[in-house]
Amino acid sequence: MTRRERIQAAVAGREVDRPPIALWRHFPEQDVKAEKLAQAVVAFQRKFDFDLVKVTPASGYYGDDWGLKAAYRPSREGVRTYLDRPIKKPADWGRLKSLDVTAGAHGREIHAIGLIARELGAEAHVLQTVFSPLAIARTLCGEHALVRYVRENPEDVHRGLEIIAAVTARFVQENLAAGADGIFFATQCAARGYLTEEEYETFGRPYDLRVLEAAGNAELILLHVHGTDIMFDLLTDYPAHIINWHDRRTAPTLAEARRRYSGCLAGGINEYDTLSRGTPEQVKAEVKEAIVQTGSRGHLVAAGCVTLVDTPEANIRAAVEAVRMDSKER
């Protein structure tokens, strides 16, 4: 099977020659230039030969054009530190402006996806990372501030989310036009320790669906549910082909999710412990155990989130080798 055929079969729940695998990571400091990000993503794919290419832009890239100030301070995840946020009071939500997504930071990411798709698109699906409007809102004001605004200034938040969702939907369409096969749609607020399910139904879901509707012609949509104690069942009816979450750190397990979700599952690798701190043999064992949980059908072997920047290359290779060993053992 080709990489594309393997992903398509996994999404459809058909038999595969081996489970597909994909890992992704941030490329700090390289990720603020389209050409350098593209080079880093292509090199990473060439080195490890994944079945899917998930592009990971600079963290918070979507906020830069609204005035977010950020800089890279060394971190294991490779994310930037937010130095100044544009929303500091309720009235600021109404001051968010519509954006030309072909310019600025948004335009940079569209340019990068075009470069990557031209280099890798013939051999593998290429996905752009797009965030939920509510996750974007959180970055623009701050994690704790968003909860306060949702509960004390709901109408102001809705005004901001209308603009954010419209801009994000256009960004999705421009990425597809530039060559992306689809999107990696990341939610960061669908966690019970952060908001209630009722709050997410009101402030998250309607705007998520607007963005996902804009991706309706995409060949592949991978939904990422970030965090712990996640609202898994609340999101399983989203129009996505694959769902990914921190299955090694929070419920449900892959086996439990298989009983609750008919689509393709992405997970099985603990990026914080096994992949970054374990031995290659421990990585292989974890991958094999994950494949047993799913019966190797409808399963993209992946980590719960980004591969940490200090992860040993030997461990990444071990994960890839483990799925190939699964093929030989059949």
Question: Using 50, 70 and 90 to split pLDDT, how confident is the model at 169?
Answer: very high
The answer as to CATH 2.40.128.20 being correct for domain 3-328 is: no
Residue 187 has which token pair?
């939610």
pLDDT in tens, 36-76: 999 999 999 999 999 999 999 999 999 999 999 999 999 99
Alpha helices in 142-253 (DSSP H): 143-152, 154-178, 197-203, 205-214, 232-235
Burial of 244 (0-12, 13-18, 19+ CB in 10 A): buried
Q: Which amino acid is at 297?
A: R
Residue 72 has which token pair?
């890279």
Lowest mean pLDDT among 115-129, 148-162, 167-181, 316-330: 316-330
What is the residue-averaged pLDDT of the chain? 98
